[in-house]
Structure 1
Amino acid sequence: MDERELRAFLSIATIGRMDMAAKALGYSQPAVSYQIKCLEQNLGYKLFTRDSTGARLTREGQMILPSVRAALMLFDGIREASPRRSAVAFPA
């Protein structure tokens, strides 16, 4: 699992619709659906129930929501605390 998958999960959980979450993230709806599919496969359970009105968290999705929020707060905190890299190149 990666940050993009977690951000997609949180956006859908907050907005309740994959298409609107994709728009908010600046991704296509198929890309967000794929990110959720990958996250669900990695975790081994469904995170949302989907229907024509949107997407709702499953019990398992509700259980991981606080941890996803905390993880994304850590990512954001690390980014804010890191010095800006100007022209410094780092080996890949």
Structure 2
Amino acid sequence: MHEREFRAFVSIAELGRMDQAAQALGYSQPAVSYQIKCLEQSLGTELFVRDSTGSRLTREGRMILPSARAMLALYDSIKSVVAA
């Protein structure tokens, strides 16, 4: 599991679409899709239901979203301490 995978996860959860998340993150849509695939494989569960209207969190995705946000906040905090 990598920071980029969790950033992609949170961005898709917030925006509801992989293409919009990719644009917001500055990645290609296939790169974001791959990051989610890797995260899902690492966790052993699907995080999104994908359809023509976008991506919706699964039950498991909803359960880990608060932890993913907290982890990214902590990671950003650590980066700011090191940069100071």
- CA shift digits 1:34-78 (9 cap, x unpaired): 000000000000000000000000000000000000000011000
TM-score, normalised with respect to structure 1:
0.89
Residue type of the partner of 1:67? S
The answer to whether residue 45 in structure 2 is matched with residue 45 in structure 1 is yes
Query: Which stretches in structure 1 are left out of the alignment for 5+ residues?
Result: 85-92
Q: How far is the alpha carbon of 1:6 from its aligned partner?
A: 0.2
Residues 1-92 of structure 1 correspond to what in structure 2 (within 5 A)?
1-83=1-83
- Structure having the higher helix fraction is 2
Question: Which contiguous aligned blocks of 4+ residues in structure 1 show a shift greater than 6 angstroms?
Answer: none
Aligned residue for 1:27, secondary structure, equals coil
* Corresponding residue SS for 2:83: coil
Structure with higher Rg: it is: 1
Could you say what the CA RMSD is over the residues aligned between the two structures, in angstroms? 0.8
Q: TM-score, normalised by structure 2?
A: 0.98
